[in-house]
Structure 1
Amino acid sequence: MYKKICNSVKVLLVLVAVINISSCTKESDDSSNLSDTLFVRHKKADMPAYIHGNSTEKVFLITLHGGPGGNGLNFRNDTFKNNIEKTCAVVYFDQRGSGMSQGSYSESKVSIDIMVEDVLALVKVIKHKYGNDSRFFLMGGSWGGTLGTATLLKNQNEFLGWIELDGAHDPKGMYAEYIENFKRVATTQIEKGNSIVYWEGVQNFIKNVEPSYKEEDFFKMNSEAFKAEEKLIDDKIIANHDIEGLDSFFKYNLLTSTWNAGGIQSILTKQGLWENVSYTNRLPEITIPSLIITGEHDMIVPPKFAQEAFENLGSTEKELLVLGQSGHSPSVGDKDIFVERVLDFINEHK
């Protein structure tokens, strides 16, 4: 059953291929300070997109959240609200099976390919609402780097530029890299005398991990990666994170978003996301301008993947930005340089 998330909703039914569009009543008509919610109805799913920022030039930055199973407004921290949104309209999209998305679909009806179609459907919805002269940049964070890469491989012509933010374009490669990265970081931190007991525990933990993919071990390492970043924060290797994504606290029903997250992650895991999916060999096909950003101390999607993306992307206009105060959240850890480079990139290519 489709649940409305606005007090006042007007439904706009438009046939765009097989896409039905629903539009939430605007909170603001001011194009320099837009606040709007659109709904994309596509293949048994209704997915909200929250749009905030400056739309005077009709430049939209579509963000793809992490997970699978995160939510769009987790992106909307102070860095985005107080900086990025002043230059362009930022689209915070709840992907299929994530956030406040609703739908009735079976496991056989969910795939990365269908989620790619969802993103391209979102582009059509925005064009219908704001005009065919709307222009788009795509930003994918973490798992959003997987989905964003797959989207560009389907149709990169819709986008002026690609920003991969700690992106996982190679989910298959993460298992082996987790093992090697834990070994490297643990050795380095022990040599520096930081949290020795914890990092010795990590070394012992990794010794017991199967060398080839095992689902249980993958998720144990993923969970440990988040704990490791907390230790790096404690030891002042990573800048302390401000509270992020408060909008999600007020906009989301916790039960719905949690239920969604478990479902979509389970489906994609069963389909072999972490065991079989890799786009590394196809990165040369992506030729639009690209900005690759990673935290130097990212434990969740280690920096190796950013370097790999930079080396393999087919674009002649590409940049790799490694931020030294950051782990998996460079928009917070190194927000000043993050804002500067993202806005430079958008302004240069819009």
Structure 2
Amino acid sequence: MKNLTILIAIPVLMLLAACQKESFYQGDHFFVKNAGAEMPVFVKGNIASGTFILFLHGGPGGNASLPSFMPVSQELEKDFAFAYWDQRGSGLSGGNPDPATFTVEQFVEDLDLVVDVIRQRFNNPRIVIYGISWGGALGSAYLSTADYQQKIDGFICMNSGHNLEDGLPKSVVFVKNYAQQQIDLGVDVAYWTEARDWCAKEPDMTVVDNYFKYDSYLSNTNAYRRNPDQEVQGPEVGARGTMNSYLSLAIFFNGRYLAKRFNILELNLSKDMERIKIHSLVIWGRHDGVNTIEMGYDAYSSIGGPDFTEKELVILENSAHEGYMEEQELFINTFKRFVKGL
């Protein structure tokens, strides 16, 4: 009898979970398959607007699935449709792509397929590419390739890693300075002395082992959030909500596999970005320690070249790398103004 009770209880729990999931499945969902990868795209928001924001997540190895549940995303979805694409080897992507396909050129090809599917599936809507961090770099690479930019109506480039050749050494200096501040405050002096001295050696940041050593220090700074103790609104699903949505534990593991096999440490797209001649908005956190403010100025000056005028730079004065969470109201207002003005 006890076993029978358990057997009955399991379907009931599954049914309840299925009922709870309904609110998480609003919108459209499809996969783009290419070169061994099966990449999900979730389309949510105001599809009737005819304006689609194609979100390019960071990393490499982040995901677009979790950000789709952020309050800031849901606010913007009232005005625009958002297409959340998990890139190859990232997020909820599947298949079995060969690590040899982890190249900028392959990611650009994947992105172009996503763009074409959106255009065909939704009757040629306006498309705005919105890339954060690595996503900004991918957007820059895409718009600099062939005539792809003719398919796109606008570009929002936020805290991008478009030029790691110049940018990573600047971030190393950020870590060194942060370490010295902690030492002066008497905080974990042994650890931060080790970090400061390592950074002071000006390590070659094109070496993968050096990158992961630096990244271990960076993760303990305020490079991502100017005030790490600031309460911000994150994804609404939380840990429990993951069980009641399309999310899965894959978002925690796929990216780690990709990051170890996708070397972009010598990436420098600054010169290529002069080819971009579409309306562009560059948004940067003043206190970003990942891609420092100098790289924000570089992104702005690079897009379209020095004489191109259809671009704008907005600096979030109280933010680091995650200004979309740290200064949500300003970010949302800036985002809406730009897109509606296209």
- Tell me if TM exceeds 0.5: yes
Contact 1:69 1:97 in 2 (8 A): yes
TM-score (norm 1): 0.80
Name the structure, 1 or 2, with higher relative contact order (CA <8 Å, separation 6+): 2
| Distance verdict in 2 for CA 1:130–1:231, change over 3 Å | closer
* Contact 1:34–1:55 (CA under 8 A) maintained in structure 2: no
Q: Look up the match of 1:64.
A: 56
2:161 equivalent to 1:168: yes
Paired residue for 1:13?
A: none
Residue 18 of structure 1 is matched in structure 2 by none
Aligned: 1:246 with 2:237: yes
Residue identity opposite 1:322 in structure 2:
I
- Amino-acid identity (%): 27
Equivalent position of 1:12 in the other structure: none
**Residue 272 of structure 2 corresponds to residue 282 of structure 1:** yes
Q: Distance in 2 between matches of 1:216 and 1:241?
A: 33
What is the Cα deviation at residue 281 of structure 1? 1.3
- What is the deviation of 1:174? 3.0
CA 1:286–1:185: 2 relative to 1, 3 Å:
farther
SS at match of 2:259: helix
Q: Could you tell me how far 1:283 is from its partner in structure 2?
A: 1.6
Structure 2 gaps of 5+ residues are 1-13, 15-21
Q: Residue 139 of structure 1 aligns to which amino acid in structure 2?
A: Y
- Whether the 8 Å CA contact 1:241–1:332 is kept in 2: the answer is yes
Equivalence for 2:138? 147
Cross-structure match for 2:334:
341
Partner residue of 1:121 out of 101, 113, 117 = 113
Q: Which residue of 2 aligns with 1:138?
A: 129
The structure with the larger Rg is 2
User: 1:264 and 2:264 equivalent?
Assistant: no
SS of residue matched to 1:297 = coil
Aligned mates of 2:49, 2:226 — CA distance in 1: 41
Q: Which runs of 5+ in 1 are unaligned?
A: 1-6, 8-26
Deviations 1:45-74 (A, max 9, x none): 211111111111211000010111111123
- 3-state SS of paired residue (1:206): helix
Deviation at 1:199, TM superposition (A): 6.0
> Post-superposition shift, 1:242?
2.9
Describe the shift of the 1:194–1:51 C-alpha distance in structure 2 as closer, same or farther (beyond 3 A).
Answer: farther
The question of whether the paired residues in 2 share the 8 Å contact of 1:34 and 1:89 is answered with no
Matched, 1:85 2:80: no
Deviation (angstroms), 1:189:
7.5
TM-score normalised by the chain length of structure 2:
0.81
How far apart are the structure 2 equivalents of 1:61 and 1:203?
Answer: 41
CA distance in 2, matches of 1:226, 1:245: 24
- 193-202 or 46-55, which deviates more: 193-202
Corresponding residue pairs, total: 309
Match of 1:320 in 2: 313
The 3 A distance-change label for structure 1 pair 105 and 125 is same
Aligned Cα RMSD in Å? 2.8
Question: Which AA in structure 2 matches 1:329?
Answer: E
| CA distance 1:126–1:278, shift in 2 (3 Å) | same
Distance 1:285 1:111, change over 3 A: same
| Partner Cα separation in structure 2 for residue 324 and residue 146 of structure 1 | 22
The whole-number CA distance in structure 1 between the counterparts of 2:162 and 2:41 is 23
CA drift of 1:208 comes to 4.8
Note if contact 2:286-2:317 (Cα within 8 Å) is conserved in structure 1. Answer: yes
SS in structure 2 opposite 1:301? coil
Q: How many Å separate the matches in 2 of 1:302 and 1:163?
A: 17
